[in-house]
């Protein structure tokens, strides 16, 4: 079953909404199935909460409420320069995962599967210090080299390039009131 959620991002200084989707419950699908809503090769985006309702109707979706927190995709490199924290690792990892979902949705690639970028992604993951991963009483704080920061920034730049190339502002369906 495909679940669809509202997701707010900041991209190129603009607030926009995307429909983020995930496959749950079947166990038959291998690999990552998370995606964003795409039509005719274009990512559907909205500018207001009311436009989500029109998109849901147009695509026959039942939209779950996502988080109202804005995911800022513009200032990720600034986060890389701040002292590492669980929150910063979480924001960077969420952005990385979203860019991967976006790329997969349009048949593109972040080119992030090499050993060096995988190591960076792993560091971010462990840096979130999830209770299910980090042993009780321990805390992991990743230390990124300049090269690793550059690799992470390159992944984010590829993600933003893909998003820019494929995003399309959704227009609510036009009601035709013409009488014949």
Quick: pLDDT tens for 25-79.
655 556 678 999 999 999 999 999 899 999 999 999 999 887 778 999 999 999 9
In this prediction, residue 179 has a pLDDT band, given cuts at 50, 70 and 90, of: very low
pLDDT at residue 14, rounded to an integer: 93
Q: Is residue 180 part of a domain?
A: no
Place of tokens 């026959």: 60
Q: Is residue 94 part of a domain?
A: yes
For residue 146, give both structure tokens: 């300049």
Q: Is residue 99 part of a domain?
A: yes
Place of tokens 């147009």: 58
Q: Is residue 158 part of a domain?
A: yes
The structure's pTM equals 0.87
pLDDT at residue 140, rounded to an integer: 92
- Sequence-separated (6 or more) residues with CB below 8 Å from residue 28: none
Q: Tell whether the model's pLDDT for residue 169 goes beyond 90.
A: no
Q: Is residue 178 part of a domain?
A: no
Q: Tell whether the model's pLDDT for residue 20 goes beyond 80.
A: yes
In this prediction, residue 172 has a pLDDT band, given cuts at 50, 70 and 90, of: very low
CA separation, residue 83 to residues 75, 89, 131, 153 (Å)? 15, 10, 21, 16
Q: What is the largest CA-CA distance in the chain?
A: 74
The domain total for the chain is 1
Q: Tell whether the model's pLDDT for residue 160 goes beyond 90.
A: yes
Residues 4-18: what's their mean pLDDT? 95
Helix (H, G, I), strand (E, B) or coil at 23: strand
pLDDT at residue 49, rounded to an integer: 87
Residues 122-144: what's their mean pLDDT? 93
Q: Is residue 42 part of a domain?
A: yes
Q: Is residue 38 part of a domain?
A: yes
Q: Which domain covers residue 139, as residue numbers?
A: 2-169
CA separation, residue 149 to residues 29, 102, 115, 154 (Å)? 33, 22, 15, 9
> Which range (12-21, 53-62, 160-169) has the least confidence?
160-169
- The H or E element containing residue 4 is strand 2-11
Q: Is residue 156 part of a domain?
A: yes
pLDDT at residue 54, rounded to an integer: 94
Rounded to 10 deg, the angle between the 86-105 and 146-166 helix axes is: 40
Cα–Cα dist 18/9, whole Å: 8
């Amino acid at each position: 079953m495909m679940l669809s959620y509202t997701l707010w991002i900041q991209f190129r200084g603009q607030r926009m909404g995307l429909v983020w989707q995930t496959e749950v419950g079947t166990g038959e699908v291998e690999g990552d199935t998370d995606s964003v809503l795409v039509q005719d090769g274009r990512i559907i985006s909205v500018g207001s909460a009311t436009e989500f309702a029109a998109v849901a109707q147009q695509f026959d979706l039942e939209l779950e409420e996502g988080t109202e927190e804005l995911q800022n995709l513009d200032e990720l490199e600034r986060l890389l320069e701040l002292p590492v924290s669980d929150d910063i690792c979480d924001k960077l990892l969420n952005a990385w995962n979203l860019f991967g979902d976006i790329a997969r949705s349009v048949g593109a690639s972040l080119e992030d599967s090499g050993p060096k970028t995988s190591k960076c992604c792993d560091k971010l993951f462990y840096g979130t210090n999830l209770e299910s991963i980090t042993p009780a009483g321990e805390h992991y704080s990743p230390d990124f080299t300049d090269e690793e920061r550059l690799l992470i920034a390159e992944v984010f730049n590829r993600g933003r390039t893909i998003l820019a190339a494929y995003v399309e502002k959704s227009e609510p369906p036009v009601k035709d009131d013409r009488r014949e």
